[in-house]
Structure 1
Amino acid sequence: MTTYPGAAGNGSSQSQQGDNNAGFGQRVDQIGSEAQQLWTDARGAVTDLGQALDLRGRVERNPYGMMAAALGVGYVLGGGLFTPMTARIIKLGVRLAALPFVKDELLGMAEQALQGYQAGRGMAGAGGADSTASANATSAGTPRPPSY
């Protein structure tokens, strides 16, 4: 038989039953008061958290942002984190996040190619001017067709 603190008896069945009922009642009262204390502590913690986060002020300053945050928290708490839709959203987000890096790389490659083309054209233009002059000197009497 289980005995509770504060339950005392002489071993007879009637006195044990009476003492157990008194001990049980005390235990129920103790659990009730502990539950009430826990509830009070929890409400106080929520109030403190609300004051620390300044939720009312944030909602007043940025209502759409707070709605989006609430939607996101609800989505996660509702079990939407490990769904195929979330995987697609994350893939899209990664692609969009990588887009500026890819664009910068492509622009850098295009600039290098353009610089190389201009440098090669400049070298060909310098060497080409001499070859054009010598070609004109050899074919001085022949008219050249116009270039378009």
Structure 2
Amino acid sequence: MSNHESMSGNGHEGAQGPRVGERVDQLGDSAQQFFSDARGAVHDLGAGLDLKGRVQRNPYGMVAAAIGVGYVLGGGLFTPLTARMLRVGVRMAMLPFVKDELMGMAEAAVHGFASARDAASGGGSSAV
């Protein structure tokens, strides 16, 4: 019966792989290594972006940026609300250009009206 004593539960004879406890220890070590690497990557990213300095210099801007990033990551990019906000933003961005064009046309019209009035009144201005 010595032949049966050297066999494992499935009948396989010979060297056995790592035990469950050893495998759990390996997984724990791998998880700790992954966590350490991730923490280092986040620290490097934070140092590269100078997040602490940016928060101290412009806290409200960083809150707005965090809200924007959360909105995008939360799936809000392709929603009707985003489309409306984009339309309003484009309209507001175009206002200065439209205002300048309208002012230019109004100035040209006033200048043309004044020139036509001066030409109709005799071409010169009289001193009173």
Q: TM-score range by the shorter chain?
A: 0.7 to 0.9
Deviation track 1:85-128 (CA, whole Å, cap 9, x = no partner) reads 0100000000000011111111110111111111111111116x
Q: Secondary structure at the match of 1:22?
A: coil
1:2-17 to 2 correspondence within 5 Å?
13-15=12-14
Q: TM-score, normalised on structure 1? A: 0.66
> How many residue pairs were aligned?
114
Residue 56 (structure 2) aligns with: 60
**Identical-residue share of aligned pairs (%):** 62
Residue 79 (structure 1) aligns with: 75
Q: Secondary structure at the match of 2:18?
A: helix
Q: Separation in 2 of the partners of 1:60 and 1:22?
A: 52
Q: Separation in 2 of the partners of 1:116 and 1:58?
A: 53
2:33 is the counterpart of 1:37: yes
CA displacement at 1:32 relative to structure 2: 4.7
Q: TM-score, normalised on structure 2? A: 0.75
Residue 143 (structure 1) aligns with: none
Aligned alpha-carbon RMSD (Å):
2.5
Q: Separation in 1 of the partners of 2:33 and 2:68?
A: 32
1:21-32 to 2 correspondence within 5 Å?
21-22=17-18, 32=28
Residue 91 (structure 2) aligns with: 95
- Structure 1: runs of 5 or more not aligned: 1-11, 128-148
CA displacement at 1:52 relative to structure 2: 1.6
